[in-house]
């Protein structure tokens, strides 16, 4: 049963990211800032750091497929982006696992990378006409702040859960 905890939590926050979050941060206010929740990136990185890179890659691919099918009009963008995040921004080393700030920096770097990946892809095919300065000020910075705050809030409870799952896995493998 403990194997199902992490996928269930990831799915729960996947639903929150795409639906309920939109109710709490309405876009009809007079400010032009856009808060984009990227909770799945936070989870993919934390899973990869505390488990292995292949596990993170699989989570990235599965979440990317679901994300593309449910939320986007451009199939493949999130599959490829989440898989890249799951492969290149995961460092499953003991020293990284022990240092919260290093993990936070990795998460921030991955968030910035993914925002620019999306921006570049959509600009390349002509789906966006936002200039870079506006994109940086009104979307990247606010999204990084939001998702960093989420990472800080979720880190310790999720860490405890991952440790519990790993412990149960060791007991099961004896």
Q: Is the pTM of this model over 0.75?
A: yes
The answer on pLDDT for 113 being more than 90 is yes
| Size of the chain, expressed as the number of residues it contains | 174
pLDDT, residue 25, reads: 66
Q: pLDDT category, 67, cuts 50, 70, 90?
A: very high
pLDDT of 29: 60
> What distance in Å separates the CA atoms of residue 122 and residue 120, rounded to the nearest whole number?
6
pLDDT at 107 over 80: yes
Name the percent of the chain in helix, strand, coil, to the closest 5: 80, 0, 20
Q: Are 81 and 117 in contact (CB under 8 A)?
A: yes
């Amino acid at each position: 049963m403990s194997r199902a905890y992490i996928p269930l939590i990831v799915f729960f926050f996947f639903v929150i990211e795409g639906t309920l979050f939109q109710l709490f941060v309405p876009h009809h206010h007079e400010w032009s800032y856009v808060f984009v929740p990227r909770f799945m990136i936070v989870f993919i990185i934390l899973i990869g750091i505390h488990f292995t890179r292949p596990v993170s890659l699989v989570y990235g691919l599965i979440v990317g497929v679901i994300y593309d099918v449910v939320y986007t009009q451009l199939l493949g963008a999130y599959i490829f982006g989440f898989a890249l995040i799951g492969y290149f921004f995961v460092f499953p080393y003991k020293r990284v696992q022990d240092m919260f700030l290093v993990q936070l920096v990795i998460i921030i770097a991955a968030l910035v990378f993914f925002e620019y990946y999306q921006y570049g892809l959509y600009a390349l095919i002509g789906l966006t006409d936002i200039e870079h300065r506006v994109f940086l000020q009104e979307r990247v910075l606010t999204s990084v702040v939001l998702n960093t705050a989420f990472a800080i809030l979720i880190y310790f409870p999720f860490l405890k859960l991952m440790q519990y799952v790993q412990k149960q896995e060791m007991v099961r493998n004896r």
